[in-house]
Amino acid sequence: MDTPETLVEAILYFSDAQRAHDFVKRLRWPNGVACPRMGCGSANVREICGKRPRWFCRDCKREFTAKVNSIFEDSPLGFDKWLPAMWLLSAARNGISSCEAARALHVTQKTAWFMLHRIRLAMQDRNFEKLAGEVEVDETYVGPKARSINRYGDTSKKARGPAYRKTIVMGLRERGGKTRAFVVKDTTKGTLLPKVVDSVAPGSTVYTDSLGSYTGLQCSYRHEVINHAEKYVEGRVHTNSIENFWSVLKRTIGGTYIALRPQHLDRYLDEQIFRFNERENEDGPRFAKAVKGADCKRLTYRTLVRRS
């Protein structure tokens, strides 16, 4: 199907609400409209004539639209606003803030913030296939700088360690393949080793730094260690590829999002991982993949703000 190639083309193409709706419809149901509700999926549907495009499922006896069972469900905004927002977030290397998105889409900042989090959910990778071959593993700390922590006379950082007031993120990158990252509670062996076992196929070569928590990987993997106190590269033994991902992530957080909350960090990781893994694609195919990922995913505002 035809997909816009530039932002200008996307804005012109999706400015028509019906055309934007038809784009989502063709992308979501390439083989014909089917009921999107969980447990149904019937293609025995009929279109209901009216101002708003919708269908009726003859099996579950319920009406539905193209927004049902997706990140767009219950949103009063049309696809003429949703699709440009998805283009902006998928194409911007360092992301886009909710204030900037609100000005561009002519919505409130609160609405733009909620929209961007739902789009990040659509970008979430649900492929649980294990990484293989050569895999680099590392961890980093995301949070305020030491000078910001000590600005008001807080001198306890050294006593509490590098994770004080920071969130720990663990990352794995397959050389020539995909990157994964997730928030972890600490850097102990009991936390890091299970993550590696769950994400990396046995028999692979794993490269790490000299952190003692990775001791024991040699039982299932070929474990190579680089001591950063002495050198950063020794032949093929290094973690520079995952360090590259950390640099892109921290530029995005420090330059665009500035003060994100730790409880939402997983969403921002999903966004950055999506763009990083799809960086070889053009903007059009990357955008289409993000729209396709909106299917069968739902995020409510109550869940987002952690309300009981």
pLDDT tens-place string over residues 12-54: 999 999 999 999 999 999 988 999 988 888 899 999 887 788 9
Please spell the DSSP secondary structure of 233-264, one letter per residue: -BTTB--HHHHHHHHHHHHHIIIIISS--GGG
| Residues carrying CATH 3.30.420.10, the chain | 134-259
Residue 44 phi/psi, 5° resolution?
A: -85, 75
Instruction: Work out the pLDDT band at 164, boundaries 50, 70, 90.
Output: confident
The answer to whether 75 touches 90, Cβ cutoff 8 Å, is no
Q: What percent of the chain has pLDDT over 90?
A: 65
Please check the confidence at residue 161 and state whether its pLDDT lies above 80: no
pLDDT value of position 184? 93
Please check the confidence at residue 155 and state whether its pLDDT lies above 60: no
| Amino acid, res. 199 | S
Residues present in the chain in total: 308
pLDDT value of position 146? 66
Token output for 35 = 């009921």
Please check the confidence at residue 297 and state whether its pLDDT lies above 80: yes
Please check the confidence at residue 152 and state whether its pLDDT lies above 60: no
Give residue for tokens 């495009």.
53
**Predicted confidence (pLDDT) per residue in 65-81, tens digit:** 999 999 999 999 999 99
**What average pLDDT is seen over the chain?**
89
**Predicted confidence (pLDDT) per residue in 169-195, tens digit:** 999 999 999 999 999 999 999 999 999
pLDDT value of position 51? 78
At CA 38, angle to CA 32 and CA 44, rounded to 5?
Answer: 35
Instruction: Look up the pTM and report it.
Output: 0.89
Instruction: Work out the pLDDT band at 2, boundaries 50, 70, 90.
Output: confident
**Predicted confidence (pLDDT) per residue in 201-212, tens digit:** 999 999 999 999
Q: What percent of the chain has pLDDT over 70?
A: 93
- Residue by residue, what is the 3-state secondary structure of 268-306? HHHHHHHHHHCCCCCHHHHHHHHHHCCECCCCCHHHHCC
Task: Please count the other Cβ atoms lying within 10 Å of the Cβ belonging to residue 157.
Answer: 15
Token output for 266 = 């997983």
Sign of the CA dihedral 185, 189, 190, 196?
positive
**Predicted confidence (pLDDT) per residue in 244-275, tens digit:** 999 999 999 988 988 888 899 999 999 999 99
Residue 239 phi/psi, 5° resolution?
A: -125, 30
Please check the confidence at residue 294 and state whether its pLDDT lies above 90: yes
Task: Please count the other Cβ atoms lying within 10 Å of the Cβ belonging to residue 215.
Answer: 13
Please check the confidence at residue 308 and state whether its pLDDT lies above 50: no
Q: Which CATH architecture has domain 134-259?
A: 2-Layer Sandwich (3.30)
pLDDT value of position 38? 85
The answer to whether 32 touches 43, Cβ cutoff 8 Å, is yes
Single out the residue of 131, 97, 132, 133 nearest to residue 112, CA to CA: 97
> How far is Cα 92 from Cα 28, in angstroms, rounded to an integer?
24
Sign of the CA dihedral 76, 66, 270, 308?
positive
Task: Please enumerate in sequence order all residues whose Cβ is within 8 A of that of 44, keeping only pairs 6 or more positions apart, or say none.
Answer: 57, 58, 59
pLDDT value of position 205? 94
Token output for 69 = 């069972």
pLDDT value of position 179? 94
pLDDT value of position 49? 84
Summarize the confidence of residues 120-130 as an average pLDDT. 89
> How far is Cα 51 from Cα 116, in angstroms, rounded to an integer?
28
